[in-house]
Homo-oligomer: A and B are copies of this chain.
Amino acid sequence: MTTAYKLGGRVWIEGPEGTFLGYGRVTLLERIRQHGSISAAARSMQMSYLRAWKLVDSMNRQGRQPLVEKSTGGRGGGGARLTETGERSIELFWSAYRDFQQFLQQRSGPLQG
């Protein structure tokens, strides 16, 4: 029997406090862009608001500038939007992610049975 093996894996971007950007965090950023609020973004991912808030806080602390801007108060207060740093961070992660997928694919070649 020949068995096909392949390389699998995960990558993330590390900052001063550990994980800065990973798959889940970047998906959360994209949902915030889509929904215009942290709570709606969290709900759309079946994530608790507390967890989403903590992730945003961690990213904001570790970014060169905050990634998410919260607009407290106002009608339906609690809206949030991505900053330019937020947009750039999303691109930064997906670019590294794509390179990693390519690495995995290439490095899986020698594992074929």
Q: How many residues of A contact B (CB 8 A)?
A: 28
Q: Which of A6, A7, A113 has the most CB of B within 10 A?
A: A7
CA distance in complex: A7, B95 (Å) = 12
- Given A1-B64, A107-B99: A9 in contact with B11 (beta carbons within 8 A): yes
Q: In A1-21, which residues have CB < 8 Å from any B CB?
A: 1-3, 5-16, 19-20
Residue of B7, B14, B62, B104 touching A8 (CB-CB under 8 A): B14
Contact indicator B9/A100 (Cβ below 8 Å): yes
Q: Which residues of the other chain, B, contact A104 by a CB distance below 8 angstroms?
A: 11
Residues of B within 8 A of A16 (CB): 3
B-chain residues with CB within 8 Å of residue A1 when the two chains form the complex: 64
